Amino acid sequence: MSLGLSIASVVLAAAAVPTTYEVGLRTEVRGATDNSGDLQLNPAVSLTVPIRSLTFSASYLPRILELVPRHRGGFTVLHRGAFLGQWRTQSDGRLFVDQQASYGTNAFSLLVAAAEGSTLTLDRLSELPPLLYFSETTTLGLEQPLSRILRLTASAVYGVSGPADDAAKSQGLPLQRGPKGALTLAWLVRPRDTVSAAVRYSASYFSSVPGGGLPRAYILEANAGWRHRFTRDELELGLGVAGSRDVWADQSVHRYARPVATVRLRREPTKRRFHRFGGNLRARLGPAIDPITAFTYSRVEGLGEIDYLPIPKLKLTAGGGAALALSGSLSGQAVGLAGLAASYEIDRHFSLTGGVRLFSQGVSQTPPVVSQPPPVSQTPPAVSQTTTQWVGFVAVSLSYREPL
């Protein structure tokens, strides 16, 4: 009897808060100065079900691409799905599980990522042609206030990604898997000032590379941060140190100590009706793992976006990102993307966007995967060829979100 009452109470609670569904489609057409062109479709379907303090969300976000001329990849489809379950505690905490998976022909170009509005991943994957690829990532996270001025954030992640057939493996991309973990303690010292201490760990295990062996890479990072809130702006600074341990394909072990520094500036849009400004800038110096060679190296990267709304329905945006390798065999190689866009919202379901993007990348002239790189002290300067491409684009976005 008690079980029946419990089930009934859950059903009534679920009915009290409506389930919400959302469907959308973004279509973008791109044309480049080298006479190449892309048609990119990003349909989206999601369902959100709240049950008291629990919320479950499921999404299907495929990517459909037509790359012209066909030697660039032709017609490709990447299937992507996501699930998020979270529990809100009575003390304003949150426990969540986030799972994301993808399978299909993946185009790693930054132009494709920019069209989706996703955070740019500034690594050498963008050098690869479209290939059959899979990935899966599971995240378990906790955000919990310990007191009125202390807050704890923790996460544990396990992911696996890589080529899904022999043709993709022949491009030199190894299978990568491994865990990540992070722990942050934030202290509100004053109403506008917060200091924090964070520890992060990652381990990456790679499949066999040409020449044999199973390379591995480990990074342990510790830093301290300070965040200050102004009237509309927020400034965040961080400084720390990281240790990395590389196990090369010949099983030799190499350890490095590298500095870590971060800066972030965010401006909330003004609340007035006309001439609203907003944006964010972020830069980081720290270690990174090259997904192709499996070696760690120091990298400086920056991302930024500035928005201006002269009238409520028109938004002008300038943004982009760039990264530069500072050590190892990749030293001196850079990748970047910048863009200007204008977006007009016809109504809450329909908007038009147009603009230009500039893509630049230094591509290594050496084989992408080696079994044993030279010592850092003997590493020659990187030999690369810089490619630059101007792209114009027009996009139409449709979305519909309603309760069931």
What pLDDT, in 10s, does the model give residues 10-29? 444 444 568 999 999 999 99
> In angstroms, rounded to a whole number, what is the distance separating the alpha carbons of residues 28 and 178?
35
Least confident of 211-215, 278-282, 358-362: 211-215
Give tens-digit pLDDT for 113-141. Answer: 999 987 777 788 888 899 999 999 999 99
Q: Is residue 52's pLDDT more than 70? A: yes
Number of domains in the chain: 1
Q: Which residues contact 375 (CB under 8 A, 6 or more apart)?
A: none
Q: What percent of the chain has pLDDT over 70?
A: 89
Is residue 240 situated within a structural domain?
Answer: yes
CA-based angle 396:399:402, to the nearest 5? 170
The one-letter amino acid code at 83 reads F
For residue 375, give the DSSP letter.
Answer: P
Q: Is residue 2 part of a domain?
A: no
Q: What is the DSSP string of 349-386?
A: TEEEEEEEEEEEEEEESS-S--SSPPPGGGPPPP-EEE
* Sheet strands (E) in 20-172: 20-32, 37-51, 54-60, 63-68, 74-88, 94-106, 131-145, 150-163
The enclosing domain of 194 has a CATH number of 2.40.160
pLDDT at 210: 55
pLDDT over 70 at 364, yes or no: no
* Per-residue pLDDT, 120: 75
pTM: 0.85
What digits encode the pLDDT tens for the residues 66-105?
999 988 889 999 999 999 999 998 888 999 999 999 999 9
Q: Is residue 268 predicted with pLDDT exceeding 90?
A: no
Mean pLDDT of the chain: 87
Q: In degrees to the nearest 10, what's the CA dihedral of 207, 213, 214, 219?
A: -130
Instruction: Quickly state the pLDDT bin for 368 (edges 50, 70, 90).
Output: very low
Residue 6 lies in a domain: no
Task: Decide if pLDDT at 378 tops 80.
Answer: no
Q: CA 267, CA 140: separation in Å to the nearest integer? A: 30
Q: Is 3 inside a domain boundary?
A: no
Q: What is the pLDDT of residue 3?
A: 40
Q: What per-residue confidence (pLDDT) applies to 17?
A: 62
pLDDT bin (cut points 50, 70, 90) of residue 380 is very low
Question: 363: domain range?
Answer: 16-403
pLDDT band per the 50, 70, 90 thresholds, residue 239: very high
Question: Using an 8 Å Cβ cutoff, are 103 and 77 in contact?
Answer: no
Across 310-327, average pLDDT: 92
CB 239 within 8 A of CB 205: no
pLDDT band with cut points at 50, 70 and 90 for residue 257: very high
Residue 382 within a domain: yes
pLDDT given at position 265: 96
Confidence (pLDDT) at 301: 95
H or E stretch covering 182? strand 176-190
With cut-offs at 50, 70 and 90, classify the pLDDT of residue 270.
confident
With respect to residue 48, please indicate whether it lies within any of the assigned structural domains: yes
Q: Residue 371: its pLDDT value, please?
A: 42
* 1 lies in some domain: no
Average pLDDT of span 296-313: 94
Residue 203 in domain: yes
